[in-house]
Amino acid sequence: MFETAIAGSLPKPAWLAETETLWPQWRSSGAELEAAKADATLLWVKLQEDLGVDIVGDGEQARQHFVHGFLAQVEGIDFEHKVKMGIRNNRYDAMVPQVVGELRLAGRVHAMEAQLARAHTRRPLKFTLPGPMTIVDTVADRHYGGDREGRIRMAFAFAELLNQEARALQADGVDIVQFDEPAFNVYMQDAADWGVAALERAVEGLTCKTAVHICYGYGIKANIDWKHGLGDEWRQYEQVFPALAKSRIDQVSLECFRSHVPLDLMRLLDGKDVMVGVIDVASDEIETPEQVADTIGNALQFVSKDRLFPCTNCGLAPMSREVAVRKLDALAKGAAMARERHG
């Protein structure tokens, strides 16, 4: 009961990459970098186990960014000539690669870190991939026509590639494949109209558990400013949850603690596992186990015990390693306290 998990990313050690930034530069290259990525993956698997996180992940140590890490293995994308583009409905500018031709996977994307993590933990292993709609929002389209129809076709083309990698991850022994779709909270109507359908294309044929993570973004300034403008009630989830409830996705991860998401929106996810965000990523303040247990208790009004998985609100990538460790510690201790209260 109350098995804990992380949303996905964790800070990279200082010897692997720049710290406390979203698109960090690697500290080395070639074989040395590959070895460093593997070491960082192992380090975080061990730390998650020691801290008491039940469902562990690779912490996304082998990818520079959660979207571009996948795209690096896709043919038809020009990474040499990145362009500046406003992403997440122009919330912030990013340098993004351009889609210039037919999309094809050049090979496996995450074999190294998935197999390594699998070989070193007996706990359930969750692996994250970017969702098709979020990918489409993080690339410049020079091939699919640049209009709405083009975006949809491009999303389904990416979904097919994601499906190939997801099936391979399942064969590697991954227990849960999770797709990250922060774009669902930005383009709510599109998410309900075709985003969930693209996601279902990405999970086609999988027999392992499938999940989607929808959040209000990393704790970077542009996101924090955006959240301040969203008002007292954040109802974005309300539009996409009904479509997800009807889909074959097994688990949904959402922001909760220190957000303005009305908790009763979780009711819309009847029949799904709910990964409830009990750890805030927008502040370095460390949650107390009591706060974590209280958030779990509040969510229990709307989610049954056996379907509630305490989780972080989003990835911890841009945080300091020390803060991340302390937050994971609070996550595990708070879940343990909730088990005592509600067991």
**Which residues contribute to the site for Zn ion (CB under 5 A)?**
215, 314
Closer CB to Zn ion, 60 or 172, in the complex: 60
Q: Which residues pair with 94 in a beta bridge?
A: 85
Q: Are strands 92-105 and 74-87 parallel, antiparallel or unpaired?
A: antiparallel
Closer CB to Zn ion, 196 or 282, in the complex: 282
Q: Which residues pair with 92 in a beta bridge?
A: 87
- Least spacing, CB of residue 315 vs Zn ion, in Å: 5
The residue with tokens 């693209």 is 198
Residue 315: how many other CB atoms lie within 10 Å? 27
- Least spacing, CB of residue 60 vs Zn ion, in Å: 11
Closer CB to Zn ion, 133 or 314, in the complex: 314
- Least spacing, CB of residue 269 vs Zn ion, in Å: 17
- Least spacing, CB of residue 313 vs Zn ion, in Å: 7
- Please name the amino acid found at residue 153: R
- Least spacing, CB of residue 281 vs Zn ion, in Å: 8
Closer CB to Zn ion, 81 or 260, in the complex: 260
Please tell me the distance from the alpha carbon of residue 51 to that of residue 29, in angstroms, as a whole number. 31
- Least spacing, CB of residue 217 vs Zn ion, in Å: 6
Closer CB to Zn ion, 7 or 99, in the complex: 7
Closer CB to Zn ion, 98 or 253, in the complex: 253
